[in-house]
Structure 1
Amino acid sequence: MSSRQAYRGPKRKLALAFDVGTTFSGISYSVLDPGQVPEIKPVTRFPAHEHISGASKIPTIIYYDRAGKVKAVGAEALREGILETAEDEEWTKAEWFKLHLRNKIGAGKAVGNDIPALPLNKSVIDVFADFLAYLFVCAETYIKDTHANGPTFWESVKGEIDFVLSHPNGWEGTQQQEMRKAAAQAKLIPDTPAGHARLTFVTEGEASLHYSIQNGLPAGAMKNGDGVVIVDAGGGTIDISSYCRNTAASKETFDEVAAPQCHFHGSVFVSIHARMFLDNFLADSPFHEDLEHIVRCFDKTTKLRFRDSKEFQYVKFGSTRDNDEKFNIRFGQLKLQGSDVAMFFEPSINCVVKAVLDQRKNAHKSISHVVLVGGFAASDWLYTNIQSQLTPKGLNVIRPDNHVNKAVSDGAISFYLDHFVRTRVSKVTYGNFCHIPFEPTAPDHQQRIKNTFVSVSGSKRISDAFDVILPKNTQVTETKEFRKSYFRESENKGDFKSAEFYVWCYRGQLDEPKWKDQDTIGFSWLNRFASPLENYTKLCTITVDLSHLPLQARPKATGRGTFFRLDYEIVLLFGLTELKAQVAWKEKTIEKRSATKIVYDPDTTNDEP
């Protein structure tokens, strides 16, 4: 276990981490007192969960009435009689709504079709905001009730709370931008630069690493710097991340050693496969109309305790009077072959095994250990099958004993306090489309001669070249700057008030993509079929204020007239949990910088549910 330093801030603070999961959510927090070593604590009491001692998770469910008003959230949404009330009053249930925030790139239509629709007239940001607001109230109530002078303490910190929101490895700036909007809408933070600065994001994989450091990473990973794959198996996604300890550093730090992965094969997809099977199996049974109830019963019992594919499995859904022997239903129980239930888990197991082996193959450091965390990791069937397939390949597979289902929220607070990861690996190739000098002897230039033009200064150039800023699978430190020089030319001085710079992602397999028309389409094999994807996708727009930069009039190459040229550099930092950008320029010999505004483009792919 890592040793944490005492808090050195000038005054008392509170940090709250919200883990909004697909199926269950949790809250962890830390009170930071000057001179004291901060501790990580979970919220263990929620409305309608008071009778469950130490409950650290609540269901990620919201009920809305016909007017769109929140009526029941979390454990309240599962209390006795709620289904009848919801049906009588025509409430709408929102569940699995987190997956509507997903990065559409690579998710595929099949994933969208399997996600329950959002309530009418509610956006995913609306639902997310309502759930965050509920979690905030739960945290406030718990802290007021359990801490000495709780109400007084809360009043002293409530306007300056730092928040940490976790998200799947596959989410990017667009999803972070939407989560930030939801946090502001929920009144967690004001929608100002100062308010935004109080909100930090961390991937679920990195949060899980921080949790594992505090709760039992293998000894070899801690002492010798062995590579370790963290598998965060949650309700919606399985996040795969690889790290090793930097044994040469004076302070305990870890480096990410492979590009993180995110797969839509979490525990809800076991239920989806079960539903597909039962829909077909019970098609001619009068109990087919009870399909949704049977699947819910499978989800709560059979799925959790499944351990043996050679034994019959039972789903208790009715009373002793419910019988249909033709369809293996006796005394309100549906009997299933264990081998059929095993098939529901098979895609998830295969996904984890393949992803771990891919990480070991592509890692910058040899991988020796695999650590399973997350709510889905509590499944013995998932764990034993992954272990049985990876152990013969020389990997040590373990599962921490204590509360694997709260790894992300606790780990998010550890990320805030301890900040162990200092090097991360790029998931895609980042770059920008630009124009470059035309080279008449270059074959690839000749092939694209239709893209040539004469610039304002009189030189011949070719457009749609892809300028790589950061290649895929590159280790990047948090302080590493990536600089690219650009210029703008115009005869009109008024054109230099501002500029827009685009960051694009190339998601294909080429090591050195060079042109916009090169390898434009890829495929993602997900669920039941392959989805065509655009390999080049715009990540964000960086708006730069150029009005204060020095301009000089220059003579044209033709000798007729003058033009203005502005030279500047875009400085990007990819090694943080969020992209940062600045614009740099020189006045005489002194470099100056200014901040930029980053706006992430919404997903424009056609795989919306």
Structure 2
Amino acid sequence: MEDHHHESTGIPIPDQGTERLQLAIAIDFGTSYSGIAYIDSKRTYREAPEVLTSWKGKPDMVLSKVPTIIAYPKDDKAGLPILWGYEALGRSEDDPRSEDIPRFKLDDYIRYSNFKLRLPCHGSDSDGAEPDPDWHNYEDVDPERSAGGRSAEEVTRDYLNLLFEHFEESIVDLEPDYSSIGCDYHILLTVPATFTKRTLRVFESILRRTIMANRTNSDMTIHLQAGSYREPEAASMYTFFELSNTSRMAEGKLNINDCFVICDAGGGTVDVCSYKTNGDIDISNSQYPFTLTPVTEPEAKFGGSAMIDFGFKSFVLMRYGHLAVQEMTELEMNTFLQEFISRKEAFVDSQYTETDYQNIPLPRTLRILFPNERGFLKISRSKMREFFARSVRCTTELLLSQFYSMCDIPQNHIKPSQIKYVYSVGGLGSSEYFRRAVQHCIETADFGRFSHVRVSSPHAPQRAVVSGAARIMHQNMIPTIPSGLPVFQSHLINASYGVLVQTFEGDGKTLIKNQISWFIKKGRYQGDNGPFLKVEKPLARMLSKRMAVNDTVFYCKADPGILPTCLSELEHLPRHMVIEVCTIESDFTKVSKSDFKATTSEGATSRLSEIFRKLKKVTRSISASQVPTQYSLVMTVNGLRAELFSEFKGQRISKVQELNWQLWNWHDPDSIPGGELPTVES
């Protein structure tokens, strides 16, 4: 079968003449829960993807997500299987499920949870650096290596293998035509907005060792893609289609140039991204076409539901003591936590509730040790609010940061009144209390500047990322999409890049030495049709022979209107605002003598020659034997990757400098290791 490729993404597109079915598959590998959605190439773009809802350990229940938990036998020779998902949580003796479901003692296993947070590393890209300090303040992020001798990378690989194997087993029963023999797979794994370049590289190396990337079945093809889309962008796609259903979204109407924010509050992180409408969106009659334009870069912090669960665990430890908690079995602890999670999701903090307390059944061990508790742990409404407080505060800070970014970047031309909605998705998106608390914080912040912004959730917010990612992959497979339909492929450049001028610019504009010429500015789109951008900056040097020359590249987070123009202005800016990224060494000794002479003699334009003649008169640093040599500094941006190198007549004359495209918290200078962005030569 011959494949074509999508113009904007490069993703293989099945030949329209073939009868072979193509299946778009999205995998949402979450911190606390994971999910899978799928849709085949014969379905229209308006149809919703199917979400896998049957899982081992809970065969009689309809659940759109499965816990991101895996358990390994303590004794490798005992012949016990690896448990994952709901099986790794265990089940009580009075579980009503059928007896043919095997029972396993969790005390015979080592359990790993929240291991996604241990992938090196969120919030930093330096080798050997630790992740965000916040993430070390929570227990059960990952057992120590000594407990089971397994790294986060190994555990992640095994979990993804088990997840994909379960999908293939289930899909044969659900849709026989979707089996590996009957169709090709196009798999997309989204990543959090916190993933750095190094984290993404590690994640890709893990995927290369999974069964998804090593299938030897010659009757099918698997196209595996990771890192091209971030989780809040996938959630945006889902929310866009939900906006067309008035029974699910009652806000009414978004008008042209209105803005909204997607807030993906998952298990580990809260990710946010913002969009502006470029056409009328009438929800009542679903008018098309229109497009949604990103207006700020996605942001993220560790503040998801795992933080709330940790608050509960700390409360239990303080109330009953470490010794009593250690007496509990693994199954008792899991059941106790699940009981709290169900109360957490239903908590509304209403003064009209029947009781002021959340009553959580105590495990058998605690009932025996603490008979005065009468079998229940009572949690007051104020204590529940305390559990939520940090997640609410973290989410509010992120949302306000997005609001300010939208309004403060000049080229956005956005007023506060244009920001209409915040759509909360993910695990916390279904919590009514979480939405109300965030709404209250937004209304009271900054003297009510954004009090008009409404916080809402689409239908089934926990499915937003995985279902939206499946829609993205499905649309990338279809070469003919309605012209106005947004595919959420454009990203914004989140900072400006400039080069230190040594003599003059190659476009003929005379500049003073030590000025900074900004060749790409913050807020620019990576691409009109996809997440790829290539910028060439023309440069020139006075050279009398082939040699190596250096060009210094700077990075600035400031707004484009206040970019410094020379080195002396850097002294007046905060240390973290402008950073020397790297030095590009252009080696002209790699160029043939004939090409070099041709460029330095007749290749220079009369305009450049005139400039150099003037420069020779005012400076003694340019000798009569030196003539202008033109070359280009090239920057490419593709998804989460950015690279810098130099070219001479189409020939690369420098090493490639790979830049970190995901940033630290620029409001906190101490979060930037060494004050520099790391680069890796490749």
TM-score by structure 1 length?
A: 0.74
Q: Deviations over 1:196-236 (max 9, x none)?
A: 87556211111111001112366656554521111111111
Greater alpha carbon shift after TM alignment, 162-171 vs 481-490: 481-490
1:251, distance to aligned residue in structure 2 (A): 4.5
Q: State the one-letter code of the partner of 1:208.
A: A
Greater alpha carbon shift after TM alignment, 6-15 vs 416-425: 6-15
The 2-side partners of 1:542 and 1:243 are apart by 39
1:94, distance to aligned residue in structure 2 (A): 1.8
The 1:256–1:539 alpha-carbon spacing in structure 2 relative to 1, beyond 3 Å, is farther
Q: How many residues were matched structurally?
A: 546
State whether residues 90 and 106 of structure 2, in contact with CA within 8 Å, keep that contact through their aligned partners in structure 1.
no
State whether residues 542 and 597 of structure 1, in contact with CA within 8 Å, keep that contact through their aligned partners in structure 2.
no
Candidates 342, 350, 353, aligned match of 2:396: 353
State whether residues 129 and 185 of structure 1, in contact with CA within 8 Å, keep that contact through their aligned partners in structure 2.
yes
Matches within 5 A, 1:202-351: 202-216=229-243, 222=254, 224-247=256-279, 251-283=289-321, 286=324, 290=328, 293=333, 296-297=337-338, 299-308=340-349, 311-319=356-364, 322=367, 330-351=373-394
Residue 429 (structure 1) aligned with residue 429 (structure 2): no
1:469, distance to aligned residue in structure 2 (A): 4.7
Q: Deviations over 1:144-168 (max 9, x none)?
A: 22114444xx22434xx32211122
Report the secondary structure of 1:431's partner residue. Answer: strand
The 2-side partners of 1:540 and 1:63 are apart by 47
The 1:134–1:197 alpha-carbon spacing in structure 2 relative to 1, beyond 3 Å, is closer
The 1-side partners of 2:16 and 2:656 are apart by 29
The 1:181–1:544 alpha-carbon spacing in structure 2 relative to 1, beyond 3 Å, is farther
The 1:125–1:297 alpha-carbon spacing in structure 2 relative to 1, beyond 3 Å, is closer
The 1:185–1:40 alpha-carbon spacing in structure 2 relative to 1, beyond 3 Å, is same
Q: Tell me what 2:209 maps to.
A: 185
The 2-side partners of 1:188 and 1:541 are apart by 38
Unaligned 5+ runs, structure 1: 1-5, 440-459, 523-533
Q: State the one-letter code of the partner of 2:112.
A: A
The 1:430–1:283 alpha-carbon spacing in structure 2 relative to 1, beyond 3 Å, is farther
Report the secondary structure of 1:247's partner residue. Answer: coil
Residue 395 (structure 1) aligned with residue 453 (structure 2): yes
Residue 40 (structure 1) aligned with residue 49 (structure 2): yes
Report the secondary structure of 1:50's partner residue. Answer: coil
Q: State the one-letter code of the partner of 1:437.
A: Q
The 1-side partners of 2:103 and 2:588 are apart by 55
The 2-side partners of 1:545 and 1:381 are apart by 64
The 2-side partners of 1:437 and 1:478 are apart by 33
The 1-side partners of 2:372 and 2:538 are apart by 71
The 2-side partners of 1:316 and 1:34 are apart by 47
Q: State the one-letter code of the partner of 1:176.
A: L
Q: Tell me what 1:130 maps to.
A: 158
Matches within 5 A, 1:92-171: 92-101=110-119, 102-105=121-124, 108-114=132-138, 115-117=141-143, 119-120=145-146, 121-151=149-179, 154-158=180-184, 161-171=185-195
Report the secondary structure of 2:198's partner residue. Answer: helix
Q: Tell me what 1:370 maps to.
A: 422
The 2-side partners of 1:547 and 1:38 are apart by 55
Greater alpha carbon shift after TM alignment, 168-177 vs 344-353: 168-177
Candidates 550, 568, 577, aligned match of 2:639: 577
TM-score by structure 2 length?
A: 0.67
The 1-side partners of 2:301 and 2:535 are apart by 29
The 2-side partners of 1:461 and 1:83 are apart by 75
State whether residues 255 and 424 of structure 1, in contact with CA within 8 Å, keep that contact through their aligned partners in structure 2.
no
State whether residues 233 and 376 of structure 1, in contact with CA within 8 Å, keep that contact through their aligned partners in structure 2.
yes
Greater alpha carbon shift after TM alignment, 404-413 vs 105-114: 105-114
Q: Tell me what 1:568 maps to.
A: 632
The 1-side partners of 2:580 and 2:116 are apart by 22
1:398, distance to aligned residue in structure 2 (A): 1.7
Report the secondary structure of 1:307's partner residue. Answer: coil
The 1:476–1:566 alpha-carbon spacing in structure 2 relative to 1, beyond 3 Å, is closer
Q: State the one-letter code of the partner of 1:512.
A: L
Greater alpha carbon shift after TM alignment, 138-147 vs 383-392: 383-392
Matches within 5 A, 1:339-488: 339-363=382-406, 364=412, 365=414, 366-390=418-442, 393-401=451-459, 403-418=460-475, 420-421=487-488, 423-426=490-493, 428-431=494-497, 435-437=500-502, 468-474=518-524, 476-478=526-528, 481-486=534-539
Q: Percent identity?
A: 19
Q: State the one-letter code of the partner of 2:122.
A: N
Q: Tell me what 2:614 maps to.
A: none
The 1-side partners of 2:398 and 2:322 are apart by 39
The 2-side partners of 1:557 and 1:405 are apart by 65
Greater alpha carbon shift after TM alignment, 382-391 vs 544-553: 544-553
State whether residues 231 and 238 of structure 1, in contact with CA within 8 Å, keep that contact through their aligned partners in structure 2.
yes
Residue 61 (structure 1) aligned with residue 69 (structure 2): yes
Q: Deviations over 1:393-424 (max 9, x none)?
A: 112222223x2111101001122234522543
The 1:466–1:94 alpha-carbon spacing in structure 2 relative to 1, beyond 3 Å, is farther
The 1:585–1:495 alpha-carbon spacing in structure 2 relative to 1, beyond 3 Å, is closer
Question: Of Structure 1 and Structure 2, which has the larger fraction of its residues in strand?
Answer: 1
State whether residues 28 and 410 of structure 1, in contact with CA within 8 Å, keep that contact through their aligned partners in structure 2.
yes
Q: Tell me what 1:19 maps to.
A: 28
The 1:329–1:508 alpha-carbon spacing in structure 2 relative to 1, beyond 3 Å, is farther
1:256, distance to aligned residue in structure 2 (A): 0.9
State whether residues 65 and 92 of structure 1, in contact with CA within 8 Å, keep that contact through their aligned partners in structure 2.
yes
The 1-side partners of 2:319 and 2:572 are apart by 47
Greater alpha carbon shift after TM alignment, 199-208 vs 389-398: 389-398
1:266, distance to aligned residue in structure 2 (A): 0.2
Q: Indicate the structure (1 or 2) with the bigger Cα radius of gyration.
A: 2
1:341, distance to aligned residue in structure 2 (A): 1.8
Greater alpha carbon shift after TM alignment, 547-556 vs 100-109: 547-556
The 1:489–1:303 alpha-carbon spacing in structure 2 relative to 1, beyond 3 Å, is farther
1:9, distance to aligned residue in structure 2 (A): 3.8
Unaligned 5+ runs, structure 2: 1-12, 93-101, 126-130, 216-220, 282-287, 407-411, 476-485, 505-511, 602-620, 665-671, 675-682
Q: Tell me what 1:453 maps to.
A: none
Report the secondary structure of 1:437's partner residue. Answer: coil
